[in-house]
Chains A and B, each alone.
Chain A
Amino acid sequence: MPLPPFEDVVARHGPTVLRVCRALLGWERAEDAWAETFLAALKAYPDLPSGSNVEAWLVTIARRKAIDQHRATVRQPVPLPDLPDRPAVDRYPVETDRDLWQALAELPFKQREAVTYHYLAGLPYLEVAQILGNSTDAARRAAADGIKTLRHTYLKDQP
């Protein structure tokens, strides 16, 4: 099977990759990561083996871009602005979403990743484990722990 036009890849997987970038990096930095992900993917696309799982491939690239950004932030800490809890209202289209994005952002990174890849990108745990470099069981456990915490922090469920 020859590769479809890259525009089809963007149309089919663009929304998922944007959600993944937002989940891993927050709303503001997500768009740069999305742009870098698809540019890198476009570059490598002609050599993609046929039959590849395109979504898992894109999520892997997005993850690398997100981790690069996290590392860059750690290396060069940006001085905090004077407004420690500046309202993020205008950055989120729906007010109630903000609490959920926030709760997701507060998870330990491994759990945040596992929840994102399985529940937001819809990848099976086998793929999640490959991306995380751990076992299927460990991936499943990380996602379950993440969801448990989200239930507590976001839904205010009793633990």
Chain B
Amino acid sequence: MSQPIADEMLLDPLRRPDADSLHRLQERLAHTAADEGLLDIAYRTVDTPVGTLLLAATARGLARVAYARENHDVVLADLAARISPRILRAPARLEPVVRELDEYFAGHRRQFDLPLDLSLAAGFRREVLAHLPEVGYGTTASYTALALRSGRPRAVRAAASACARNPLPVVLPCHRIVRSDQTLGGYVGGVDAKQTLLTLEMAGSR
């Protein structure tokens, strides 16, 4: 005789994991949410030569690119608090971004042509970010030069801080800003990533 089944275990067969159905349902939800205008932030990850990048976009455009060392869970929680908690993994909205990043890392793209949402940066920081694309592919500029371009020549420290907190690294090329003594300086993705991007661009601009 087997032991009688406890009430708590009677329904155990109905608790079988069903990852396939849930995966399908999540995708369907992401699509419907986007169609109904309820998807405030869509995100996905992409593997690149500088590691796995998190990409997050609002309906207006790309709002965040994050390195793995920034901790993607922390970044998403921050987006939930600062923009909206209506966040879903939804690759479709990020497809043009992935395409341009692939081209960039293959050395075939020198500038990004994507709608951007700069709502995570305000004031002078935003001003600095807007001037980053003026530093051309395969070249570098100093933090001093960036401060000058941004209209506040003496705000070198603030310009450096704006780079350090760039919400859109790679796409807004803060990796091209180096110290006046030509040493690399810091980078949100780590110095190795900065070196990798600059080396890639040197090769691509030859």
Contacts and interface: CB of A to CB of B under 8 A. Distances in A.
B13 A18 contact: no
A33 to B, nearest CB: 11
Interface stretch (A55-63, A69-77, A89-97, A126-134): A89-97
B18 to A, nearest CB: 7
B179 interface: no
Nearest to B90: A7
Contacts of B191: none
B206 interface: no
A18 B8 CA distance: 19
B85 A2 contact: yes
Interface in B20-44: 21-22, 25-26, 28-29, 32-33, 36, 38, 41, 43
B15 A120 contact: yes
B1 interface: no
Contact size range, B: 35 or more
B83 to A, nearest CB: 10
A34 B21 CA distance: 11
B77 A4 contact: yes
A42 B26 CA distance: 12
Which of B13, B41, B79 has the most chain A CB atoms closer than 10 A to its own CB? B13
Where chain A touches its partner, the secondary structure class is helix
A10 B26 contact: yes
A152 B85 CA distance: 46
B38 A43 contact: yes
B7 interface: yes
Interface string B75-95: 011011100111111000000
Contacts of B81: 2-3
Interface in A1-50: 2-7, 10, 14-15, 18-19, 22-23, 31, 34-35, 38-39, 42-43, 45-46
A100 interface: yes
Contacts of A46: 84-86
B17 interface: yes
Interface of B: 4-5, 7-8, 10-11, 13-18, 21-22, 25-26, 28-29, 32-33, 36, 38, 41, 43, 76-77, 79-81, 84-89
28 contacts: A2-B77, A2-B80, A5-B76, A5-B79, A7-B88, A7-B89, A10-B29, A18-B18, A18-B22, A19-B15, A22-B14, A34-B25, A35-B28, A35-B32, A42-B38, A45-B85, A45-B86, A46-B85, A93-B16, A97-B13, A100-B13, A100-B14, A119-B7, A120-B11, A147-B7, A147-B10, A154-B10, A157-B4
